[in-house]
């Protein structure tokens, strides 16, 4: 392997999944990739503090109402400036267009807090996912890491892990259990897998 895959993590909120990635890299569980940039569309995302506390460069790129192409061009510019080769969406609340995702085939991964194809797609994010799972009455939910293409939550699945629903669960309790038992384990594992594949191929989609 020549060198580590340069990773950007896109965030919008608290960043517990970002923290899991940082911890995994520190613990030597991610060795094929290196998180070199954290990008947030929200200035006040706590995830930015997590990045700064760990000496990782940050960029804030806000999205104006109705804007897409200019927003994505600003994202592409910051990725190119930093030589990024792989993107991890870790609680990033903006949908990326086909114009963007087609430039990064099998180079963007996302974590979704359900077993896709259940409880996913446009509008199904955050606590809503767990509310829907509880309302439906499923007994098992979980998390999915998948490649990102032009269809929200529609790209090829990389890993999934099931989590049991328990009597008395609220959306908040279930959200926490899915994070602890699935998301924080699966996302670093998928990051290593994909970073390794990119490093071994040695190609350079990050500079399109
Ligand atoms: C997670 O539940 C993740 O699955 C979803 O957004 C949430 C982000 O949480 N895509 P955090 O910011 O990583 O704490």
Q: Report residue 203's pLDDT band, with 50, 70 and 90 as the boundaries.
A: low
Distance of CA 1 from the midpoint of ligand 1 (Å): 31
CA-to-CA separations, 178 to 32, 50, 108, 125, in angstroms, rounded: 26, 21, 22, 14
Q: Measured on CA atoms in the order 52, 6, 103, 82, is the torsion positive or negative?
A: positive
CA-89 nearest atom, ligand 1? 10
| CA angle, residues 139, 117, 22, in degrees to nearest 5 | 90
Output helix, strand, coil percentages for the chain, rounded to the nearest 5. Answer: 40, 20, 40
With the most atoms of ligand 1 within 8 angstroms of its CB, the residue from 11, 15, 17 to mutate is: 17
User: What are the pLDDT digits (tens) for 142-193?
Assistant: 999 999 999 999 999 999 999 999 999 999 999 999 999 999 999 999 999 9
Instruction: Please state the rounded mean pLDDT for residues 74-94.
Output: 97
28-67 b/e (C-beta count within 10 Å ≥ 16 → b): eebebbbbbbbbbbbeebbbbebbeeeebebbebebeeee
With the most atoms of ligand 1 within 8 angstroms of its CB, the residue from 45, 95, 113 to mutate is: 113
* 130 is an active site residue: no
């Amino acid at each position: 392997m020549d060198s580590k895959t340069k990773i950007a993590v896109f965030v919008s909120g608290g960043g517990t999944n970002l923290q899991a990635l940082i911890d995994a890299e520190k613990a030597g569980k991610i060795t094929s990739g290196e998180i070199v940039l954290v990008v947030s569309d929200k200035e006040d995302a706590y995830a930015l503090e997590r990045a700064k506390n760990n000496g990782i460069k940050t960029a804030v790129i806000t999205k104006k109402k109705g804007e897409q192409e200019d927003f994505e061009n600003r994202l592409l510019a910051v990725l190119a400036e930093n030589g990024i080769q792989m993107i991890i969406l870790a609680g990033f609340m903006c949908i990326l267009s086909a114009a963007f995702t087609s430039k990064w085939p099998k180079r963007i991964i996302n974590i979704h807090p359900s077993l896709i194809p259940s409880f996913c797609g446009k509008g199904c994010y955050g606590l809503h996912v767990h509310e829907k799972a509880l309302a439906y009455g499923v007994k098992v939910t979980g998390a999915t890491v998948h490649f990102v293409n032009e269809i929200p939550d529609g790209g090829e699945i990389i890993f999934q892990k099931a989590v049991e629903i328990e009597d008395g669960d609220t959306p908040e309790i279930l959200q926490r259990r899915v994070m602890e038992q699935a998301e924080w384990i699966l996302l670093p594992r998928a990051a290593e897998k994909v970073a390794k594949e990119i490093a071994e191929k040695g190609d350079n989609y990050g500079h399109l």
